């Protein structure tokens, strides 16, 4: 497998998942500063111009949640088999994809939604508020603690971890969120997270 990634982005949730699964992978780093994700070469990999993309034997898969689900099919015990627990884990993943990641993207990617630069500034200024609201939702609704489903780690935790690494940079004060802080400490202690950190994949 080959993972297309950029450091500190949501693509690192997939790297953490591959480490958790013990699956070997090649990692191809994209230079976001140079806009490599928008290059014609990368468009042949992922026409959306985003990371992650995962090459699985010549087929390219995209969308973080789909990649995590794919990896879970390759190794037992990384997603729950109980249907209700699995749906709970996935509901967090869908929330992250549809809402919290999108809130975060308003900080730097306002040009996706508006043409006037003043609108971009407005969107950037709103991010601490929307990300604090998302953190509050994660704290009260998503974490049993220390992980999403309690004591059992699932790949949804890798997804949540990466999104929560963005909170300090989005000016979210973590003091009111003890469950998130405990979750982040538990994730930091995992060999998978230590491995991606050692590879320079986290910022």
Ligand X SMILES: N[C@@H](CCC(=O)N[C@@H](CS)C(=O)NCC(=O)O)C(=O)O
Q: Is 51 in the site for ligand X (CB under 6 A)?
A: yes
Q: At which residue do the structure tokens 């297309």 appear?
A: 4
- Cβ at position 166, least distance to ligand X in Å: 9
Annotate 150-165 with b (16+ C-beta within 10 A) or e (fewer).
Answer: eeebbbbbbbbbbbbb
Q: What CA–CA distance (Å, rounded) separates 101 from 64? A: 11
Q: Is 63 in the site for ligand X (CB under 6 A)?
A: yes
Q: Is 103 in the site for ligand X (CB under 6 A)?
A: no
Nearer to ligand X, 98 or 152 (CB): 98
**Opening angle at CA 144, ends 100 and 164, nearest 5:** 30
Q: Residues 19, 20, 21, 64: which binds ligand X (CB under 6 A)?
A: 64
- Interface characters, 137-176, with ligand X (x: CB under 6 A): ----------------------------------------
Q: Is 10 in the site for ligand X (CB under 6 A)?
A: yes
Q: Residues 4, 9, 95, 167: which binds ligand X (CB under 6 A)?
A: 9
60 in Cβ contact with 68 (< 8 Å): no
Residues in the chain: 203
Q: Is 106 in the site for ligand X (CB under 6 A)?
A: no
H-state helical runs in 45-177 = 64-74, 83-95, 101-105, 117-137, 155-165
3 in Cβ contact with 18 (< 8 Å): yes
- Interface characters, 81-100, with ligand X (x: CB under 6 A): ----------------x---
Which residues would be at the binding site for ligand X (CB under 6 A)?
9-10, 37, 49-52, 63-64, 97, 109
């Amino acid at each position: 497998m080959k993972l297309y990634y950029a450091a500190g982005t949501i693509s690192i949730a997939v790297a953490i998942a591959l480490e958790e699964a013990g699956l070997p992978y090649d990692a191809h780093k994209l230079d976001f500063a140079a806009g490599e994700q928008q290059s014609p070469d990368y468009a042949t990999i992922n026409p959306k111009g985003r990371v992650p993309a995962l090459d699985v034997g010549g087929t390219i898969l995209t969308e973080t949640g789909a990649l995590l689900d794919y990896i879970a099919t390759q190794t037992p015990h990384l997603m729950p088999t109980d249907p209700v627990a699995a749906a709970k884990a996935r509901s967090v993943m869908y929330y992250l994809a549809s809402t919290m990641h999108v809130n975060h993207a308003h900080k730097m990617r306002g040009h996706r939604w508006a043409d006037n630069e003043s609108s971009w500034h407005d969107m950037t200024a709103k991010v601490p508020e929307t990300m604090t609201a998302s953190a509050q939702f994660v704290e009260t609704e998503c974490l049993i603690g220390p992980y999403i489903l309690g004591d059992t780690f699932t790949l949804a935790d890798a997804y949540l971890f990466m999104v929560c690494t963005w909170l300090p940079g989005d000016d979210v004060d973590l003091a009111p969120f003890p469950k998130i802080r405990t979750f982040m400490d538990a994730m930091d202690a995992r060999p998978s997270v230590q491995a991606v950190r050692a590879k320079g994949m986290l910022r």
